[in-house]
Amino acid sequence: MDGLFPEEIISYYESGGKADGLLDALEQRLSMLQQQIAEMRLRSHNELDMSLSILKIPETLCCVRKYQGSLVQDKYHASYDFFHECVEKGIALAPKPFFIINERTDYLEGKINSTPYDFHVCIPVLPEQAPEDAVPIPACTALSLLVYGNYNNLNEAHLYLGEQVRKRGLTPAGYIRVIALVAPYVGKEINPDRYCSQLVLPIEEKEGMENI
C-alpha cells in the first residue's frame, strides 16, 4: 500500500479491511499535493492563466463566519480579520489555506452583479482540537479552476467557469468556494500579478465528466 503510513496500514487490517479512513487520508494528501503543484506552477507564469479540472474535494472542518459584500476588498478584510481573531483565540489551525464560500449564482448566467451577497469565511482547523462550534464543510466532486494573476481577474475567471458549466452541461451542487493558494497572507513580497486562486464549484457527478 504505497503512500500510507505503517500505522494506517495496521489500522486498515485491524478494521477488517474498511477503507473509508484510508480514503479520507489519501484525499487530504492529494488535496495538499494539488495545492503545492499549483504554487510551483505559479513560478513559471508571468501573466493571467487559468487551468480547469475535475477534483474530489475532501471534507474540511472549519471555523466559519458569515459576512456580506461583493467586492474583493470586502472578502480580503473579512478573511484577514477573522483569521487573526482565530489565531488570537489560540485555535489550532490546520495547515491548509482558508477559503470563502460565496452565495452567488450570477456568473452561472453569464453576468456579474454588484449587489452585495452573503459569503462565509472558512478557516480550517485541526479536527482533534477543534472548537465546539466548528463546522464540517462537506466533501464534494467539483469543477476546479486555478487562476494565476491579480485579484482583479477574478470576475473574468468566474464568468469563464460559468461558461464551462453551461458548455459541459454540468449541474451545480452548492455554492462556489474561492481558495487563496498564493496570497498576501502567505508572504509580504508577493507580486499581485503572481497570486494564485482556486475557484471550486461543487457539481453533481455524471458519467464521462472527468474527461475535461
Instruction: Say which residues have a Cβ less than 8 Å from residue 201's Cβ, sequence separation at least 6.
Output: 142, 143, 144, 161, 165, 172, 174, 176, 177
Instruction: Say which residues have a Cβ less than 8 Å from residue 23's Cβ, sequence separation at least 6.
Output: none
| Structural domains present in the chain | 46-202 (3.20.80.10)
Residues 38, 146 contacting (CB under 8 angstroms): yes
Spatial separation of the C-alpha atoms in residues 211 and 189, rounded to whole Å: 37
Q: Which of 69, 73, 157, 78 is nearest to 122 (CA)?
A: 78
Query: Which of 122-131, 147-156, 162-171 bottoms out in mean pLDDT, i.e. has the lowest?
Result: 147-156
What is the percent of the chain with per-residue pLDDT over 90, rounded to a whole number?
Answer: 52
DSSP 45: -
Residues 72-117 pLDDT 10s: 889 989 999 999 999 999 999 998 889 999 999 999 999 999 999 9
Spatial separation of the C-alpha atoms in residues 34 and 29, rounded to whole Å: 9
Spatial separation of the C-alpha atoms in residues 68 and 48, rounded to whole Å: 28
Burial status of residue 99 (CB atoms within 10 A of its CB: 0-12, 13-18, 19 or more): buried
Q: Which of 135, 157, 140 is nearest to 148 (CA)?
A: 157
pLDDT of residue 59: 92
pTM: 0.77
DSSP letter for each residue of 70-106: -SHHHHHHHHHHHHHHHHHTT--B-SS--EEEE---G
